[in-house]
Amino acid sequence: DLSIKSGSRCKNWAQFPKDVEAAIGGVIQDTAIVCGGINMNLYESFDECYSLNSKPATLITHMSVTRKYAASLVIDKTKLWITGGVYLASSEYITLEGIEPGPELPTMLDSHALVAIDNTLSMLIGGRLTENVATKTTHYFDHQSHNWIQGPDLMQARWQHAAGIVTDQVTNEKLVIVTGGFNNNPGITLDSTEMLINNQWNQGKIAHYYSMDLCKGGWYEN
């Protein structure tokens, strides 16, 4: 809901045209854009990008390739930067007019996180190199010089994690926070968080710990 910060209630938007998970998206020029993903029942990946509002979803463009478990970030409020995906090291920019090629990633990567440090610097965090092989690696990307810069390794390799910027209410310092995800043990989720302080990752608060029990058919808390 694009108006939730103004106190409005969530609106009933139109149905998405596909059954999909692991898609990416963002808001550019006040328009919500959703791209790619996979239908796990059909095991079919998609390259379409749709604009969304209260009206039926509208196809605006196709990505250069199908992408699932990629990451995305809005750049300059005008374009959506989409990075990686399963067996992909490419990236591209999505605008309301079409697509533009983006920089190659340092390696093939999916299920990673992407955050904006400031207006010119972004950070690519962790992810999955190959099936069930997580990485601790992080990279900065300078949008002015178009260069990748090696960042500090995470304390814990992780994929399908979440990351964001949190502002300290006392110091007004902006901190990169990473939470959860999977490590290299299938079905085991992480309960840890990490904070980036002075370009070094520090252990954050431990959250609840969950595991997948295939025999029980669901998640349970340790």
Q: State residue 154's pLDDT score.
A: 98
**pLDDT, tens digit (0-9, with 9 covering 90-100), for 186-195:** 668 899 999 9
Q: Return d(Cα 82, Cα 62) in angstroms, integer.
A: 12
Q: Return d(Cα 142, Cα 137) in angstroms, integer.
A: 17
Print pLDDT tens along the chain (222 aa). Answer: 555 555 666 667 778 899 999 999 999 988 899 999 999 999 999 999 999 876 788 999 999 999 999 999 999 989 999 999 999 999 999 999 999 999 999 999 999 999 999 989 999 999 999 877 999 999 999 999 999 999 999 999 999 999 999 988 888 888 999 999 998 876 688 999 999 999 999 998 765 544 545 455 554 555
Q: Return d(Cα 175, Cα 109) in angstroms, integer.
A: 24
pTM for this predicted structure: 0.86
Annotate 161-207 with DSSP letters as a single string. Answer: -EEEEEE-TTT--EEEEEE--B-SSTTBB---EEEEETTEEEE----
Q: What angle do CA 188, 125, 64 make, to 5 degrees?
A: 105
